[in-house]
Amino acid sequence: MTITKHLALTGGLLLIALSGMASQNFSSDKADFRLETVAEDLKHPWSLAFIPDGSMLVTEREGQLRMIRDGALVEEPIRGVPELVVSGQGGLLDVILHPDFEQNQVLFLSYAHRNSDGMTTRVARARLEDKRLADVEVIFEALPRSSGGRHFAGRMEFDQDGNLYVAVGDRGDMDRAQNDADDAGGVHRITTDGAPAPGNPFLDTSGVNETFYTTGNRNIQGMTIHPETGEIWSHEHGPRGGDEINIIRAGTDYGWPTITYGIDYSGLPITDKTEKEGMAQPLHYWDPSIAPSGMAFYTGNRFPQWQGDLFVGALKMRKLVRLSIHDGEVTEEEDLLTDLGERIRDVRMGPDGALWLLTDSPRGKVYRMVPDQ
């Protein structure tokens, strides 16, 4: 299966629908741009997906799936969202469309779920029927469950073969990320039916979930596909320091908590090691932490000077980071939107050539980022 390239067809529809939006102007090293407010008063929006007809889906962490249509937020939420729990960092998280969405209308949701055994990260598949979800089916559940409302992760991405990557955090218990019998603290790769994807690195390893693709990940909050190589890139939260960007490679241990460039929130060291044989080094890391969330490569034509750059939102530092990357190294880093004062939760490359942002707030916004011309 290959990912269909239908999204570019919606650019004109978006342009027509979004004309006349209120905007704010900004300057950067390479471009002057403006933010257009597309929607607001969303309850902690978490993820954004573009539908081929020009509409958009937005998840609210508080448990609702919303639609933006004709440039306006539809008042009534989409019905049929699976049962979930809103607790701490958990709630309704990512939304991603099936590679063949235009034909089958299927999408995937990640979310926190609770039962008598505790809470965990789940993924459900569903079919979008106008204002409701139908045929909702849970296809992935990280086990064992546990208490606490931290580090659900939940970011998802499809690769070029149509396999779904699902990030699961360490749930606030760091040692779980190095326990092969525990689904926490890693990336799982599954088919659209929830089965372990062909070629997964632990298919023949006793005692390890066959859906595992990587281990040693603390709390991935950004995931995207490289537009040229097809590799899946991610970033994850460190503790105090040590936020990382990584390329997700089969069977790789990213080291948490055995190695880290961060320290504990108490100020005490977690480990005296920043590297160890058999564990991957990050492509880039931040110290102090920026609390990264959402990421996208810029592939549009509106900002030709940004072609191929990686954009990362920041919650704690309330900014958007632009990274130029060449030959596996970050060669330029620029902070954008530092005066906006907003926690950037998600960053998406739009089919209209614009960058799209979500802000994490009880009155969160959807922004569209375009050249100031």
CATH number at residue 88: 2.120.10.30
Q: What is the mean pLDDT of residues 319-327?
A: 97
Number of domains observed in the structure of the chain: 1
Give residue 373's pLDDT: 79
Domain assignment present for residue 28? The answer is: no
Nearest CA to 372 out of 28, 37, 39, 50 is that of 28
Once rounded to an integer, what is the mean pLDDT over residues 334-349? 98
Which among 151, 188, 237, 284 is annotated as catalytic? 151
Residue 356 covered by a domain: no
Q: Which of 172, 152, 142, 154 is nearest to 257 (CA)?
A: 172
Q: What pLDDT, on the 0 to 100 scale, is given for residue 100? A: 98
State residue 13's pLDDT score. 53
CA–CA distance, 58 with 76 (Å, rounded to integer)? 13
Give a yes or no: residue 266 inside a domain. yes
Q: Over the stretch 186-234, which tens digit does the pLDDT of each residue have?
A: 999 999 999 999 999 999 999 999 999 999 999 999 999 999 999 999 9
Looking at the domain assignment, is residue 332 inside a domain? no
The Cα 290–Cα 22 span in angstroms is 28
For residue 12, pLDDT over 80 is answered with no
Q: Is 151 a catalytic residue?
A: yes
Look at residue 325 and tell me if it is in a domain.
no
pLDDT score at 130: 87
pLDDT of residue 328: 87
pLDDT over threshold 70, residue 93? yes
Average pLDDT over residues 56-72: 97
Give the pLDDT mean for 104-111: 99
3 pLDDT above the threshold of 90: no
Which of these, 232, 216, 214, lies nearest to 162 by C-alpha position?
232
Determine, yes or no, domain membership for 181: yes
- Would you place residue 261 in the very low, low, confident or very high pLDDT band (cuts 50, 70, 90)? very high
- Phi, psi of 248, rounded to the nearest 5 degrees: -80, 115
Distance spanning both ends of the chain, measured CA to CA: 40
pLDDT at position 1 over 70: no
Q: pLDDT-based confidence at 4, cuts 50/70/90?
A: very low
Going by pLDDT thresholds of 50, 70 and 90, the confidence category of residue 14 is low
Domain limits at 155?
7-22+41-285
Share of the chain above pLDDT 70, in %: 94
Mean pLDDT, to the nearest integer, of 261-274? Answer: 97
- Return the pLDDT at 69: 96
What is d(CA 37, CA 140) in angstroms, rounded to the nearest whole number?
35
Give which of 250, 223, 243, 226 is closest to 234, Cα–Cα. 223
59 part of a folded domain: yes
Question: pLDDT category, 22, cuts 50, 70, 90?
Answer: confident
Which pTM does this prediction carry? Answer: 0.95
Q: Please tell me the predicted confidence (pLDDT) of residue 2.
A: 34
357 within some domain: no
Laid out side by side, the sheet with 220-225 consists of 220-225, 232-236, 243-248, 284-286
With a cut of 60, say whether residue 299 has pLDDT above it: yes
Q: Look at residue 9 and tell me whether its pLDDT is greater than 50.
A: no
